[in-house]
Amino acid sequence: MLRISKNESENKAFIMMRSIYALTLLIAVGCRTLPGSDGSESLVILEESTGTAIAVGALLTHPEETGTRTYRISGGDHDDRLVHRETTPTDQFNADWITVESIVTDDGPIPRRTEYWSINSAGDAVLHATVDHEEHAMTLFKPPLVTMPAELKPGNTKTFDADVRIVEEDDIKRRKESGTATQAIAYTGSVRMRTTRGEVDAAKIVIEFEADLALADAIERTVRYVTAENGIVAIQRTRTVKILGMGGTEHSETLQLVRTK
């Protein structure tokens, strides 16, 4: 009988979780630097309501345009680091767009994640595949997993399912793991929030993601704050991995938009 050590199981679970981690923050673009400082301070929610802030849908959070958005990370493994997210067209993995997320360093940007996505015939933003370059793992979704519906009304929740297959980055025939994923996307209302760029009114979108894999259960809760002018301006993200149904390791980070171009 095959025996898997605790350390080996934990390592595989973290690889799997990180490879399916990239379900948020697909690129929107502009040509401006946002007012205020560099986004290194924490955002503060001043007021929350169930009223309508703005109309929210895939074309706002996932515009089909080439460009780069820069966020600053608070918490997690890359605390106080800038991250670039650059989107360009692609024809790989049946996707129309590719988003490469890179950590900014003194030696230049280091890619950590790549996302292949499209706007489908229903107008939904869907994720075909992701690559975790740090773990050399690729995650494929069948059908492509919806990351934002064409339209989401305040108070509504929409749920989507997909099969998950995790493979080697350089050899997609070599399967690491497989399972299922469920994602619930809810428009919970509007908030008045204070960031280092000042006070803004934003729609609050809460996303609950669960992956049921052979060796681990992965859960991620993401809150997106969206404005009509700048799309996704902030993200709060918490993820938990449970190994073989026991215990759990939690990681959290916040991203704030610094500039677009």
Query: Residue 111 CA to chain centroid, in angstroms?
Result: 15
The structure's pTM equals 0.79
The H or E element that residue 249 is part of is strand 246-260
**pLDDT exceeds cutoff 50 at 210:** yes
In a domain? residue 1:
no
Task: Check pLDDT > 90 for residue 114.
Answer: yes
Domain count, the chain: 1
Q: Mean of the pLDDT values across residues 184-212?
A: 88
Q: Is there a domain that residue 51 lies in?
A: yes
Please check whether residue 231 lies inside any domain of the structure. Answer: yes
pLDDT band of 239, cuts 50, 70, 90: confident
The answer to whether 219 touches 240, Cβ cutoff 8 Å, is yes
Question: 155: domain range?
Answer: 6-260
Residue 20 lies in a domain: yes
| The pLDDT of residue 4 | 38
Q: What is the predicted pLDDT for the residue at 252?
A: 85
Distance, in Å, from the CA atom of 59 to the CA atom of 45, rounded to the nearest integer, reads 25
Backbone angles phi, psi at 59, to 5 degrees: -70, -20
Residue 153 lies in a domain: yes
Res. 250: pLDDT tops 80: no
209 within domain boundaries:
yes
